[in-house]
Structure 1
Amino acid sequence: MSFCDGVSLKHMPAVQDHKRAYEGDVGPNTGGMGTYSDGDHSLPFLTKYDVNQAHEINAATAKALKNKFGEGYKGVLYGGFITTADGVKLIEYNARFGDPEAMNVLSLLESDFIEICNGITDGRLNQVDVSFKNKATVCKYAVPEGYPDNPVKGESIDLSNIENPDNLFYASVYYIMENL
């Protein structure tokens, strides 16, 4: 993923997602069951050359958009890449943060996010310091029984055994009478 102001890009740490619904990388594909990033902002199976290829693809895409439409793309440019014997290849683009990838990278962000957003909208991203902590991150989804095909709904979520629930992110839950 890269922040883009239409001309300049600032790249985020590499993150790998795991799409299969069940343990052991089996089951139907989902939007993502979990992600991880490494402390060096790469991934164990990537070379620096691989990471640079992905960055170059994002930069070339941003340039092509500006050339074709006369106005540059501003926002998050989220390329889904795969490494092959022929180098890094682009699978898909999203004009948004990845979910759950954003939880990995934004938890590492040391810079002021509002300043980054202002730099994007004002076209001065190249003047904004964008830095991330050198830490590894893991994001794992806990989903209801039956997910993704027929998820059980309306069940309570027990967090009593969670030592520090401050680092939990919720989606598609209700908070009713102090219960999730």
Structure 2
Amino acid sequence: MDATPHDPTPDAPTRDDAPRPLRRDRVATLVVTALVVVAADQSSKEWALRTLAPGAAPTSVIDGWLQLRLVFNPGAAFNMATGTTWIFTVIATFVAILILRVSRRLGSRGWALALGLLLGGAVGNLVDRLTRAPGFARGHVVDFIEYTKFPFMDFPVFNVADSCIVTAACLIALLGFRGIALDGTREPRPGTDPADA
């Protein structure tokens, strides 16, 4: 008796493959979010440069809580690691390229928003490092927002891009805690039945 030939079924889609229309929608969310962040960041910095003076007394926005003070930051977000501007130029460029590469796997709206915020924040500060004094890849980032009531420490002066980077980090942590992967699938938590995930 002849064996029945085996007709292989098509390979099941891997969990890295989101449906193409859904993936396009999520990539569009990422790109639009990033563009909005960059536009808001750069326009707010230009406003700060026109309105505020370096070394001048801070301008109060919410009395005792929030004020505006113009500073030029040669380091990372929130004035960390000053004096290593070129390193953060390289890091920001790498982060932007990495986000664009992983965007091909996007199937989650939350991840699209988080990566859009992160990309926009990275590019917003990268523009400063590439275009502002003292020179290409060594430019100082414009910071001008100061929160004066942070407990336990003097909170560094920051900008819109910094805020978006921190928001993205919090959102990524939340997505990871909930077990939501880039493609929108949900990882089962330890000790749970995968069928219940």
TM-score class normalised by the smaller sequence: under 0.3
For the pair shown, the structure with the greater C-alpha radius of gyration is 2
More helix, by proportion: 2
TM-score for the superposition, normalised by structure 1: 0.26
More strand, by proportion: 1
TM-score for the superposition, normalised by structure 2: 0.24
